[in-house]
């Protein structure tokens, strides 16, 4: 809900094995964020925004995602500069702490806006 209230567009997808919901924040700006909701987690589309965000903004997106409780474990293998990836934050990790889904939404909204590195 927070993502949509912040202006995210979304569409339902069929996925390879199960339905998905695909969110796009900051489209048409220098700060796009793309997320895919799967039945087992949320995919962060670094690969699909790497040509649209500056190197500094890609690093900021990764930093903000790592600030989410439970997300670090699924992002620890991400290396700055190697953006052709689509890591998935597993719900079992992401939702281990109460309120982390709100923190995740807030961090992705922040990533879709101009900010300081």
Mind listing the pLDDT tens digit for each residue in 2-59?
999 999 999 999 888 889 999 999 999 999 999 999 999 999 999 999 999 999 999 9
Burial 1-23, CB ≥16 within 10 A → b, else e: eebeebebeeeeeeeeeeebebb
What the block records as the tokens of 68 is: 């989410």
For the chain, domain boundaries? 2-111
Between 115 and 87, the more confident residue is: 87
pLDDT digits 0-9 by tens, 25-39: 999 999 999 999 999
Q: What is the pTM of this model?
A: 0.91
């Amino acid at each position: 809900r927070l993502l949509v209230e912040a202006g995210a567009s979304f569409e339902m997808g069929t996925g390879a094995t199960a339905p998905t919901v695909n969110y796009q924040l900051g489209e048409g700006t220098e700060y796009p964020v793309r997320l895919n909701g799967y039945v087992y987690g949320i995919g962060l589309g670094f690969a699909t925004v790497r040509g649209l965000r500056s190197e500094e903004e890609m690093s900021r997106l990764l930093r903000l995602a790592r600030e989410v409780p439970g997300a670090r474990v699924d992002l620890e293998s991400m290396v700055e500069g190697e953006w052709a990836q689509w890591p998935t934050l597993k719900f079992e990790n992401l939702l281990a702490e109460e309120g982390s889904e709100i923190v995740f939404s807030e961090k992705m909204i922040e990533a879709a806006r101009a900010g300081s590195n």
